[in-house]
Amino acid sequence: MQYSLGIDAGGTYTDAVILRDSDSKILDASKAITTYPNLMTGIRNAINKLNPEYLKEVKLVSVSTTLSTNTILERTGYPVGLILVGDYTVPRELPADYTITVKGGHDNNGDELQPLDIAAVEQFAISLKNKVSAFAVSSYFSIRNPEHEIKIKEVILKLTGHPVVCGHELSQELGAYERAATAVLNAQLIPITYQFIHSIMTEIKERSLDAKVLMLKCDGSVIDIKGAKLRPIETIFSGPAASIIGASHLSGLNTCAVIDVGGTSTDVSIIKNGEPELCEKGAIVGGWQTRVKAIKMESSANGGDSHIWFKKCIRVGPRRVMPLCFAAVNYPNFKEKLEKNPIPLRTMLNEHIQPTKFFVRTGTAPLNPTESEQKLLEVIGDEPLSIHDILNKTKRFPSPEVLDSLLNQRVIQAIGFTPTDALHVLGEYTEWDVGAAQIGAKKLSRFTQLGAIAFCKKVKQQVAKNMAYSLISFIMEGRGKDGIKMMLEKDVPIQYKVNVPIVLLGGPVKAYYGELKSLIDAEIIVPEQARVGNAVGALVGKGIKRIEITIRPSSMENPDQNFLVFTPAGRKKFEHYRAAMEYSQKAGEELILDSMKDFGLPENLIRIGTSIEYLVPPGWKQTPMETKMTFVGICTPGALID
């Protein structure tokens, strides 16, 4: 008998599940706290709770994670240097810490517009060697000719040794700005993904498991673990992708809506007739439009560990904090500190100045700390400190910018009141210290006209409204989000109706069943194994590889002769259209096979489908203005097992 192991590392919990390969029955499941900065501890704790007899026979390990998504949502990515190549307008700010534009780039035929200014690239790279952890490169029309991006990558690797992400490696879609944003986000995620994958591989090696290792991508397919290290941006929605696939599998429904409530985020999506819809323009996460093909969904910073704070009204997130109830278990004197922490004046309140907000070191070393950061780190140690404590030690309030920088680098961890604490006070989820949650609720409720219990009910209702808002606005895409929010916030005698079942996933998700039922008229389902739905989803995805190849005439003045073929491997020229088509068909299939062989698959188990789109305007009698060939290779993870 052979088994498969699914692992999902979320911002709060790491889940593990074992499925029997013959019938996909769940034999064992577990949850453990995700540990920072050493993810391996949480992964090990989750696996340790599983039946060792089943583990011995595991032949496939498939993983997913929301860590990348959460990083972008919380804006806590690692520092990146961005190099833009070519003379084009950047419509708005990009998410890079440092940016330079240099001469170079190509035209839409892949011909060089001007020589690459490699000296400017070298100077930029050397100046940032000790300030960033990775570089991103986006060159004008690099999808037509990646020569300049490849040259820059070689130079930076030689000068700095840092990872370099090129736009053409991630997308063959037009849009230099969107490719640049995609490359930057990918570069920010590399250290996080490396650490996650290293933790998984180390644990598998130490347990002597003879198993293939895959990672779920954001389009619901799987990628070999080496590919995931090179392209972590493709895993930004792997956790949410796992949720919709897992929800469908656990509920037995081919068509349903999904609300997955995690510690850091809530993800909503819909699956129809067993197929998740892909967002063809690319995933949007944290407000950034990427060029990554992903399951169409919406991810919001609204989770069980979202920071609940007060300034004129109750605020939810966007940052994740360690719940008070959990901190009290980890730090023996914390509850007493929380009780004694003074109540600040209303006029002083902000995200960091709260009667329930504390900071503690994580063990991660800062990256070239500033003098102000170093001074603050001399004060913040292994025991939680509030702003009031820091003020007493330094005789001044810490700079919000310095706190944000250390939080983004994961050098310090914030502790605060959360929806998880509210559920503890209400008695609906009591995993940790209820007393600490009660103290926090009492302190925050002083800023409202509510008692502690009523305050927690208000928090719970607001979180449920945020879930309902995410789902309804996702379903009614582009149709008046402000009106949806107003309807949910106001006490009006009207209710949204959803005609497909809604499946809830997440730890204490049952607690929100009643609130959601009052907001949405629909069949709401909580599967038996809802708490580990993502780990299940990580195992039931498919091995899928997509390749796009474009054929265009080199000149519209003579469109029946001389054709350019653009593939992920580079540009080719052909005199005749038929030769270009024949080459493209062969190249697409070879690229698919070469990629999927990395999964350890024999060719006879890979199915390749081809679809062709022709751009032919009305009245056009020549060969197509553009031919786009899409190749899709498919297999199931189970095929990896001999």
For 544, the token pair is: 């899928």
H or E segment and range at residue 470: helix 452-475
Quick check: 503 pLDDT over 60?
yes
Read off the pLDDT band of 78 (50, 70, 90): confident
Read off the pLDDT band of 455 (50, 70, 90): very high
Quick check: 196 pLDDT over 80?
no
Quick check: 142 pLDDT over 70?
yes
The Cβ of residue 91 has, within 10 Å, a number of other Cβ atoms equal to 7
Backbone angles phi, psi at 89, to 5 degrees: -85, 130
User: Given the structure tokens 């400017």, which residue do they identify?
Assistant: 120
> Is residue 354 within 8 Å of residue 309, measured between CB atoms?
yes
Exposure letters 73-83 (e unless 16+ CB within 10 A, then b):
bbbbbbbbbbb
Residue with the larger pLDDT of the pair 540 and 121: 121
Q: What is the pLDDT of residue 122?
A: 94
* Domain parsing of the chain, residue ranges: 74-192, 239-321+418-535, 542-640
Q: What is the pLDDT of residue 582?
A: 94
> Is residue 184 within 8 Å of residue 80, measured between CB atoms?
yes
End-to-end distance of the chain based on CA atoms, in angstroms? 12
Arithmetic mean of pLDDT, 106-134: 89
Q: What is the pLDDT of residue 640?
A: 45
Residues 257-266: pLDDT tens digits? 988 887 777 8
Residue 553 burial (10 A CB sphere; 0-12, 13-18, 19+): buried
Read off the pLDDT band of 601 (50, 70, 90): low
Quick check: 81 pLDDT over 80?
yes
Arithmetic mean of pLDDT, 527-553: 78
**CA 24, CA 55: separation in Å to the nearest integer?**
15
Least confident of 198-202, 272-276, 353-357, 433-437: 272-276
SS (H, E, C) 448-463: CCCCHHHHHHHHHHHH
**CA 368, CA 36: separation in Å to the nearest integer?**
20
Q: What is the pLDDT of residue 214?
A: 76
Just give the CATH number of 74-192.
3.40.50
User: Given the structure tokens 């999808």, which residue do they identify?
Assistant: 143
User: Given the structure tokens 């009643």, which residue do they identify?
Assistant: 514
Quick check: 74 pLDDT over 70?
no
Q: How many angstroms from the chain centroid is the CA of residue 516?
A: 25
Backbone angles phi, psi at 57, to 5 degrees: -100, 10
Q: What is the pLDDT of residue 557?
A: 82
Q: What is the pLDDT of residue 639?
A: 47
Residue with the larger pLDDT of the pair 202 and 598: 202
For 179, the token pair is: 């490719």
For 396, left (φ over 0), alpha (ψ -120 to 50), or beta? Answer: beta
Arithmetic mean of pLDDT, 417-431: 94
Read off the pLDDT band of 641 (50, 70, 90): very low
**Closest Cα to residue 7, out of 160, 201, 149?**
201
Q: What is the pLDDT of residue 331?
A: 94
Percent of the chain with pLDDT over 90: 30
Arithmetic mean of pLDDT, 102-117: 88
Quick check: 483 pLDDT over 50?
yes
Least confident of 2-6, 193-197, 343-347, 587-591: 193-197
Read off the pLDDT band of 185 (50, 70, 90): confident
Quick check: 110 pLDDT over 60?
yes
Q: What is the pLDDT of residue 556?
A: 82
Arithmetic mean of pLDDT, 397-418: 90
Provide the pairing of β-strand 26-33 with 58-65: unpaired
Q: What is the pLDDT of residue 91?
A: 56
Quick check: 480 pLDDT over 60?
no
Mean pLDDT of the chain: 83
Q: What is the pTM of this model?
A: 0.68
The Cβ of residue 434 has, within 10 Å, a number of other Cβ atoms equal to 18
Least confident of 54-63, 99-108, 267-276, 432-441: 267-276
**CA 231, CA 96: separation in Å to the nearest integer?**
18
Enumerate residues 6+ apart whose C-beta is below 8 A from 96.
80, 81, 82, 136, 184
Question: What angle in degrees, to the nearest 10, is found between the helix axes of 481-489 and 452-475?
Answer: 150
Read off the pLDDT band of 37 (50, 70, 90): low
Q: What is the pLDDT of residue 642?
A: 41
Residue with the larger pLDDT of the pair 395 and 37: 395
Q: What is the pLDDT of residue 481?
A: 59
DSSP 106: B
Read off the pLDDT band of 41 (50, 70, 90): confident
- CATH fold of 239-321+418-535, please? Nucleotidyltransferase; domain 5 (3.30.420)
Residues 337-394: pLDDT tens digits? 999 999 999 999 999 999 999 999 988 888 778 899 999 999 999 999 999 999 999 8
Residue with the larger pLDDT of the pair 488 and 429: 429
Residues 281-313: pLDDT tens digits? 665 555 555 556 667 777 777 888 999 999 999
Read off the pLDDT band of 274 (50, 70, 90): confident
Q: What is the pLDDT of residue 584?
A: 94
User: Given the structure tokens 């001044």, which residue do they identify?
Assistant: 396
Amino acid found at 302 = N
